Structures are given as C-alpha cells and as structure tokens.
Amino acid sequence: MTGQPERLDHFMARANAAYYAGRDPFADFITSPEISQMFGELLGAWVAVVWGQLGRPAPFVLAEAGPGGGTLMADALRLLRHVAPACHAAAQVHLIETSPRLRACQNAALKAATPNPVNWHDGLASLPQGPLVLLANEFVDALPIRQFVRHGQGWAERFVQAGRFVEQAAVLPPTHPALARPVPDGSVLETCQPALDFVHALAARLQHGRGAALLIDYGYDAPAWGDSLQALRAGRPVDPLRDPGTADLTAHVDFASMAQAAGSVDVWGSVKQGDFLAALGLGARAQQLARAVPAQAQDIRAAARRLAAPEQMGRLFRVLGLSVGVAGLLPGFAQLRAT
Ligand code: SAH
C-alpha cells in the first residue's frame, strides 16, 4: 500500500516525533555541547553576564528549548555554581522538550546541577512570567519545513508518498525573502513557519518580562533557495524520506527570516558561531583546560577547533541573539549594535 501523499512538514513532524521518542540521537549525530564541555561553560558565562545586565533578578527563568541529553544545561549550571553562585541560586530551570524519553535523560543529567526543581514544558506558552534567559542549540533545525518548487510562473509543493517526493500544485504561493529576486525554474524554496512562530512568541515573551535568548543552529543569513533537508543515521547521511522515525531530519535555518519575525525586540546578528565563541573566550578557556589536564591537551585544542574553525562548525553554525531590557551590548556580539 502506498498511502496518501503527505505534506513534507507533516511527514517531518511525524518522523522527528517518532525519532526523538524512540532513539538515542547521540548515536546518530554529535552536537556542540557533546563535543566539549567548553560550549556549555561559555554559554553559562554568557548567562551570568546577561543576568548582571538585567539587574540580577532573583528568581529568573533559565530556559532551554530542545535540550537533548541535558549536557549544555549541566555544563552551564556547573560554571554558574563556581563563578556566579548568586545567579546559580536564582536560576529556575525550565526545559522545553516534547520527548518523554529525552525528558528522563535530562532529569538524570541535571539532578545534582541545581538546588531548584527542574520543570518541563511542551512549548513556550507555559513558561512562568518574569525575566527570562533562554538557550536553544540545534532546536530550530528539527522543526518541520515545507518545500516549494518553481515551475514557470507558478509553484508546486512537495509531498511524500511511498518514500518519494510527489508534487502537487501549491495552494498558496510561498512567501520568502528570496523571492525579492527572480527564482530560477526548478529551484526549491523552503519555509519553516514553526520557527517563525517560535521566534514571534519568544519576542512577545521577552517584551513582557524582559530577558535575552540565544538561538544557535546551522543555516544561512541571506535569502537563499535550495533543498537542505537531510537525515543522519550513525553519523552518515541517509535518504530522509525512507523509514521515517529512524533518522534525525533537519534543514538549514533561515536566520534572516527569524530576525525579521522578532519584530521590535533588540536583535543581535546572526553571527558566525566561531566569532561568537571566540568573543566569549573559547581560546582562553581551551588553554586553561589544556594546562589543567595536559594528557588531554591535544583533544581539548581539537575540540575548540571543531567548534570554531570556519571549515568545521565555526561558519555554517550561526548565533542569533534577542533581548529586551539588557543594559549595554549583548555578550558575544560586541562587534554589533542592536538593530
Ligand atoms: N540541544 C541539544 C539537542 C539537539 S536535538 C544539543 O545541542 O545536543 C533536538 C532537540 O529538540 C531534542 O531534544 C528534541 O527532542 C527537541 N525537539 C525537537 N522538536 C521539538 C519540538 N517541536 N518541541 C520541543 N522539543 C523539540
């Protein structure tokens, strides 16, 4: 049986819900916090500085969207406990995670990391009121996309049927910044409404309670087209349309559109992950760790290069900052002014 054609975003949402509910993502791909503790530590330092710039609110909501194994938050909280104990004590940890399986992993990872209870949410809407500092690494890339294909003067939309793409006439033409210029015939245009909805809601939440957020992901900051849907299994690319639920489906993140969706909050970047981590002191932290554990010095330097070198994760990965009520420049974006 071949089944009905399923719109790509519906297919992707279903595949990823099954994937994150049933599999260990870190058998299939590796993310920055899993590469090195330095990533979460630098974000912990970022949280401490931003908390100071917000006037040291106590309590405040320290949230993460899509926390995976909980490693980033555990590393950030350990750093806070050592260097900013008042911030650590004030942080009420709230995690946005839909997978019950990953919630259990996060619970185990964070048990001893904070004296305060850890809370879970399905989305932003149920976070408590008040000042918010939110982190999200490789969360947006897993949100479901639609793909439109240019044909002549019109558009078709991609659906999935029996493990293959089929096209149907698009009911609505896509709206996308790349459409400011003519799009060549056969081009694929991707849209991700859930990402824009998330940023829109996050910005409204920041307007209401003050705070700042970092969205870190792989993607592009200029209008672009092209099919970026990919699936990884055991570190290798596989056909994203086959065996839904057995591989992680992601797509490049459109940072320019997300910045636009943020509306009137202060928007920072996006900037390259390499520049952002360098500005937060990655080089100094790597040296410090290498001196402390000489036997691992080579691995530590290799991890720092992997996170920040342009030919590795330093350029493709980007960081977008949002803030309201933060005094001065948002850390890591020193080269920018808020737009
Ligand atoms: N941030 C982690 C994990 C990235 S994997 C890291 O850097 O290692 C993507 C994460 O987002 C997983 O925790 C997954 O369960 C979660 N996720 C994916 N789609 C989601 C959604 N729609 N709502 C909430 N969480 C989601």
Taking a C-beta distance cutoff of 8 angstroms, is the pair 200, 206 a contact?
no
Compute the distance from residue 99 Cα to the ligand 1 centre, in Å.
8
Check pocket membership of 25 for ligand 1, CB cut-off 6 A: yes
pLDDT number for residue 2: 64
Compute the distance from residue 16 Cα to the ligand 1 centre, in Å.
9
Check pocket membership of 75 for ligand 1, CB cut-off 6 A: no
Q: Which residue, judged by its Cα, is nearest atom 3 of ligand 1?
A: 68
Tell me which DSSP letter residue 188 carries.
E
Check pocket membership of 99 for ligand 1, CB cut-off 6 A: yes
**Tens digits of pLDDT across the chain (339 residues):** 468 999 999 999 999 999 999 888 788 889 999 999 999 999 999 999 999 999 999 999 999 999 999 999 999 999 999 999 999 999 999 999 999 999 999 999 999 999 999 999 999 999 999 999 999 999 999 999 999 999 998 999 999 999 999 999 998 888 888 888 888 999 999 999 999 999 999 999 999 999 999 999 999 998 888 999 999 998 899 999 999 999 999 999 999 999 999 999 999 999 999 999 999 999 999 999 999 999 999 999 999 999 999 999 999 999 999 999 999 999 999 765 444
Separation CA 85–CA 168 (nearest Å): 57
Taking a C-beta distance cutoff of 8 angstroms, is the pair 196, 186 a contact?
no
Atom of ligand 1 lying closest to residue 64 CA: 1
pLDDT number for residue 28: 84
Q: Specify the pTM.
A: 0.96
Check pocket membership of 137 for ligand 1, CB cut-off 6 A: yes
Check pocket membership of 144 for ligand 1, CB cut-off 6 A: no
Separation CA 151–CA 132 (nearest Å): 45
Check pocket membership of 74 for ligand 1, CB cut-off 6 A: no
Check pocket membership of 34 for ligand 1, CB cut-off 6 A: yes
Q: Which residue, judged by its Cα, is nearest atom 24 of ligand 1?
A: 97
Taking a C-beta distance cutoff of 8 angstroms, is the pair 298, 332 a contact?
no
Check pocket membership of 230 for ligand 1, CB cut-off 6 A: no
Compute the distance from residue 192 Cα to the ligand 1 centre, in Å.
16
pLDDT number for residue 336: 58
Atom of ligand 1 lying closest to residue 20 CA: 15
Instruction: Return the structure tokens found at 40.
Output: 């979460």
Separation CA 58–CA 261 (nearest Å): 29
